[in-house]
Amino acid sequence: GDSVTQTEGPVTVSESESLIINCTYSATSIAYPNLFWYVRYPGEGLQLLLKVITAGQKGSSRGFEATYNKETTSFHLQKASVQESDSAVYYCALGENSNNRIFFGDGTQLVVKP
């Protein structure tokens, strides 16, 4: 089926360190997957962080980057230098424009220590 697997949290890093949260997907019923990273800050709803709809392309937002790799079915989230304000739960997700469904991973809690 269609599913997403991501790094199990919590992930704890120190401020100014680099970050990678792994995400792999399985898209059996979706012909042209769109890939997303959502973020949920404490007390808030999910916000779209970045979206990539074309394999081989990279999305970026707020210093975060993710590259859509069709060969390895991956969409890892990276940031070169994290800040304490990046502490949140990050969700990788899979969907399609013509499909009304989005499939979410379980979320990865990121804790950034000052």
Partner 1 sequence: EAAVTQSPRSKVAVTGGKVTLSCHQTNNHDYMYWYRQDTGHGLRLIHYSYVADSTEKGDIPDGYKASRPSQENFSLILELASLSQTAVYFCASRTGGSQYFGPGTRLTVL
> Using an 8 Å Cβ cutoff, are 19 and 87 in contact?
no
Rule CB under 8 A: is residue 42 a binding residue for partner 1?
no
Q: Which listed residue (25, 37, 90, 91) binds partner 1 by CB under 8 A?
A: 91
- Closer residue to partner 1 (CB): 13 or 102: 102
Q: How far is CA 71 from CA 44, 51, 75, in A?
A: 34, 18, 11
- Tokens representing 2? 């269609």
Rule CB under 8 A: is residue 47 a binding residue for partner 1?
yes
Q: Which listed residue (34, 64, 68, 87) binds partner 1 by CB under 8 A?
A: 34
The residue whose two tokens read 């704890």 is 12
Q: Which listed residue (28, 31, 42, 45) binds partner 1 by CB under 8 A?
A: 45
Is 2 exposed, middle or buried, given 0-12, 13-18 or 19+ CB atoms closer than 10 A?
middle
Q: Between β-strands 11-14 and 108-113, what pairing exists: parallel, antiparallel or unpaired?
A: parallel
CB of 14 to partner 1, least distance (A): 24
Which residues contribute to the site for partner 1 (CB under 8 A)? 4, 34, 36, 38, 43-48, 51, 53, 91, 95-97, 99-102, 104-107
